[in-house]
Amino acid sequence: MTLFGLDNLPYGVFSPAGGAPRVGVRLDDQVVDLSVLLDDPVFATGSLNAFMAQGRDRWAEVRERITELLSTDVPDAALHPLGDVRLHLPIEVADYVDFYASEHHASNLGRLFRPDSEPLTPNWKHLPVGYHGRAGTVVVSGTDVVRPCGQRKAPDEAAPTYGPSRRLDIEAELGFVVGAGSTLGSRIGVDEFADHVFGAVLLNDWSARDLQAWEYVPLGPHLGKSFATSISPWVVPLAALEAARVPLPGQDPEPLPYLREHDGWGLDIDLVVEWNGEEVSRPPYREMYWSPAQMLAHMTVNGASARTGDLFASGTISGPEKNQRGAFIELTWGGREPVTVKGEERTFLEDGDEVTISATAPGPRGGRIGFGEVTGRIRSTVTA
């Protein structure tokens, strides 16, 4: 059974050979050109933003119409083999916020970064912790990632040094795309999530752990995170994820009223992380402590506006078992417990390494739907 049937229909931006970028949906191993299928100029652009800005009722109307048309004979002019097209960044990213919503991941990093303190900071179970990232460094799957430079200071060094990161890492995450924004000074309620969020992508928040460890006190991640964030080319619409909804694992203490969901957005999504083609981890999204609806509500509770194209990410997805850890700093326990990849002991990323993250979720009729992949290869940098 295909992961990209009528129950899924993820959106993306593609260009056929010699053609300009336009919006399509994936059906099996074909890309359907929506500007041809629907004869609508909103899909003849190189971005999903114009369509997403039309709002939830329009998203539902278009999905219903596409499903109806694709159940019959599709015009040849609208179909392109997946292998013959180029896939692009599907959205114009307005703002980018990354959260820290896995209790397993946050506890593991707390033990690694602050071994003499409690693993979780006092605020962690009261609000979804996050940081504001760099929208301009969000790239589509397949884009090389240049090893970042910056200051790093190892525990045995008397002073910081400058140079390429020596502890380059990944973070396997889900990203959520805002379709319908909000006005400055207003708030998006926790139960209004589906009115504003268009869909989800796979996301790799590349992380330079040595740069991060030296810079993050007192204001948090900066250069250790801002050099690249990769996302998958396909945006799985929220409507396709209804069958994947599950309760959250349980929140104690009970969140403040603005974070209390009445119909929660826990999601049963299984990720797979491959390092140079070898599977090393299977992070389960259903283990996440905070839901994406709570993240969006918290992100706007101070009156900050949301905009079409805003991207916010879950933070590293990790489960309770070692083979469910979504970052290599956890998987190798800070580099002290190497993993074997293609017969070699490895801790952090080396130049030439390639990481691929894929994911599937339950579909509405007992099958599964796919997110595709997000892939990136590390390229060396020349120090100044």
- Which residues are marked as active site? 105
Contact indicator for 198, 177 with CB cutoff of 8 Å: yes
Separation of alpha carbons 125 and 256, rounded Å: 11
Separation of alpha carbons 119 and 106, rounded Å: 7
What is the DSSP secondary-structure string of 25-39? EEETTEEEEHHHHS-
Contact indicator for 80, 35 with CB cutoff of 8 Å: no
Residues 6+ apart with CB under 8 A from 71: 6
Contact indicator for 9, 198 with CB cutoff of 8 Å: no
Residues 6+ apart with CB under 8 A from 91: 47, 48, 49, 52, 177, 235, 309, 311
Separation of alpha carbons 178 and 194, rounded Å: 10
Contact indicator for 345, 339 with CB cutoff of 8 Å: yes
Contact indicator for 196, 188 with CB cutoff of 8 Å: yes
CA-to-CA separations, 235 to 34, 194, 231, 355, 364, in angstroms, rounded: 15, 15, 9, 20, 18
Unique residue bearing structure tokens 């283990």: 287
Q: For the purposes of burial, counting CB atoms within 10 Å of the CB of 313, is it exposed (0-12), middle (13-18) or buried (19 or more)?
A: buried
